[in-house]
Amino acid sequence: MNFKEYVADKITEATGLDRNTVESALETPPDEKMGDLAFPCFPLAKVMRKAPPLIAKELAEKFTSDKYIDRAEAAGGYLNFFFNRAEFEKETVNAVMSAGEAWGSSELGVGKTVLVEYSSPNIAKPFHIGHLFSTAVGKSLPRIYKHLGYNVQSLNHLGDWGTQFGKLISAYKRWGDKDVIDKDPIKELLKIYVKFHEEAKEHPELEDEAREYFKKLEDGDKETTDLWKYFRDISLVEFKRVYDMLGVKFDSYNGEAFYSDKMQEVVDILDEKGLLTESEGAKVVDLSELNIPPCIILKSDGATIYATRDIAAALYRHRTYDFDKNIYVVGTPQVLHFKQIFAVMEKADWDWSKNCSHIGFGLVKLPGKNMSTRNGDVVFLEEVLNESIEKTRAIIETNSPSMENKDEVAKKIGIGAILYTFLKNSREKDIIFSWDTMLDFEGESAPYCQYGYARGRSILRRAEGIDYSDADLSKAVSDEEYALVKQLYSFGDAVKDAADKNEPFYINRYVTNLTKAFNKFYNTNPILKDDVDEETKKARLAIVDASTRVIKTALGLLGIETVESM
């Protein structure tokens, strides 16, 4: 049963208007007191030669209450429809219960492939908080697309190639101590990398040495390749530790190095199409018609760059996955880079390039800390995650000292709190990291939603033995109950909006509002109290059950786990 379609049918009958026009004109009133759906009568004024309020009034008289519509009221130029609450709740709660985890899903994406590239940290450099932003958005998007039926591949485009490896090899050969590095790989590699930059200021010849090492690496020299592999392997061990903490998995770790033997073809194609021009010894694609700087394909020494590898990667992905969408979750500072490579791909007549999109996000500000790698003063992500878990644990220790599985709960809440923070606003807004807001159990936070879920689950545990499968929802039609069920109903719209705009924030806002409605409901409608009659109890329990399911599914689409009690 679709209430909107039902109302559209009724209006069509009463007015003789085109059915699709009617349905698309229907709006959700800004205030719940104004009903569930509003039909604006303004466009009818011309045809009917009457003022809209009069049209609304005359139409309202044509509607008598029936099974699904309780009443229709004229309000100014609008005709407002009020659903039959009991019927709407019954339909919705039953639908949620029978759909289970599939509530809010659709078949929209069946047969289509979406690639979500995210995280993509750089080898031998710390996985910093900007990568965490990408990882949070990127962990969520595949779940959202999968809910809509898409086939999704999660890709990690590791930064594992480029001239910085020449520098690192040079630094390692001068000051590297394998035993020390093995104990704390990324920190130690970063240390010698920073030292390289300091020393190179005094001794610029170090830069030449580094260039030579990178050249050797590109030519496949055994010793440098072994070192490169070693750096990559030990870095990945650390990255994977963080991914395990976050519950993130990738289908592919093909990083920049993977494309090192696939770039010549790109250079040849661009050359054949006459797109390459010389500029100060480098080969570039001119993009002046778009008012953006040229895209460098080969540097003056013949070396390829980041952009070349990205173009090769896009071509490879097109051939390998034949994608419908290829999404890059990368910080907004790289917006020009993506504009350039997409423009080059379009110029090469790759019609699929229009399906590539850069999904940017803002900066993360940690009051008082610096984010750059060069000077070594960075915040290590693993430390941030651990800090969140420890702080959560301390809160639990104070609030629920007798809880059994404190560690597990602290981990799910601590990690959830961080993920939520990144998905709380639209992506492009900057984030100021604040523990107080993140771990505020009363404010807009993951713990707030997780707590709502746990409260609901504890009610259901206490109600064990009560069979509410055939509950009569007409016993639970107060404003709070009805508002909550309406939230449950609209989950599918939030999922679609999130995918349309590649914005998990829509689901974040949804689940926060849902939890608010849930809290309001159980604070005003007693459920298991003795003076609540059996039928009302059952109706409310059915609503609790449906609500907890949807909170869990929605948090799941954000990559946030729930706990059964807290």
Which one-letter DSSP state was computed for residue 304? B
Is 131 assigned a catalytic role?
Answer: yes
Alpha-carbon separation of residue 509 from 302, 465, 516 (angstroms): 49, 34, 11
- Closest by CA to 96, choosing from 104, 87, 106, 88, is 104
Alpha-carbon separation of residue 359 from 42, 141, 219 (angstroms): 39, 11, 34
Annotated catalytic residue, options 10, 90, 125, 325: 125
Supply angle C-alpha 486, 488, 490, rounded to 5: 75
- CB nearer to ligand ARG: give 209 or 310: 310
Annotated catalytic residue, options 128, 157, 325, 537: 128
- Work out how close the CB of 330 gets to ligand ARG at its nearest, in angstroms, rounded to a whole number: 4
Please report, as a single letter, which amino acid is at residue 371. Answer: M
- Work out how close the CB of 355 gets to ligand ARG at its nearest, in angstroms, rounded to a whole number: 15
Is 128 assigned a catalytic role?
Answer: yes
Query: Which residue, chain included where needed, has tokens 């939030």?
Result: 494
- Work out how close the CB of 269 gets to ligand ARG at its nearest, in angstroms, rounded to a whole number: 19
- CB nearer to ligand ARG: give 122 or 512: 122
Is the distance from CB of 37 to CB of 80 less than 8 angstroms?
yes
d(CA 225, CA 201): 27
Phi, psi of 40 (to 5 degrees): -75, 125
DSSP H or E run through 364: strand 364-365
- Work out how close the CB of 85 gets to ligand ARG at its nearest, in angstroms, rounded to a whole number: 50
- CB nearer to ligand ARG: give 122 or 153: 122
Alpha-carbon separation of residue 395 from 266, 273, 388, 400 (angstroms): 55, 63, 11, 8
- Work out how close the CB of 62 gets to ligand ARG at its nearest, in angstroms, rounded to a whole number: 59
- CB nearer to ligand ARG: give 84 or 122: 122
- Closest by CA to 231, choosing from 172, 306, 191, is 172
Phi, psi of 59 (to 5 degrees): -65, -40
Phi, psi of 440 (to 5 degrees): -80, 105
d(CA 65, CA 69): 6
- CB nearer to ligand ARG: give 69 or 257: 257
Is 203 assigned a catalytic role?
Answer: no
Please enumerate in sequence order all residues whose Cβ is within 8 A of that of 443, keeping only pairs 6 or more positions apart, or say none. Answer: 437
Query: Which residue, chain included where needed, has tokens 């939890």?
Result: 515
- CB nearer to ligand ARG: give 6 or 316: 316
- Work out how close the CB of 363 gets to ligand ARG at its nearest, in angstroms, rounded to a whole number: 13
- CB nearer to ligand ARG: give 17 or 343: 343
- Work out how close the CB of 334 gets to ligand ARG at its nearest, in angstroms, rounded to a whole number: 7
- Where on the chain is the footprint of ligand ARG (CB under 6 A)? 117, 120-122, 157, 159, 310, 328, 330
Tokens found for residue 61: 């008289």
DSSP H or E run through 359: strand 356-359
Annotated catalytic residue, options 10, 90, 131, 358: 131
Return the residue nearest ligand ARG (CB atom). 159
Q: Which residues are catalytic?
A: 125, 128, 131
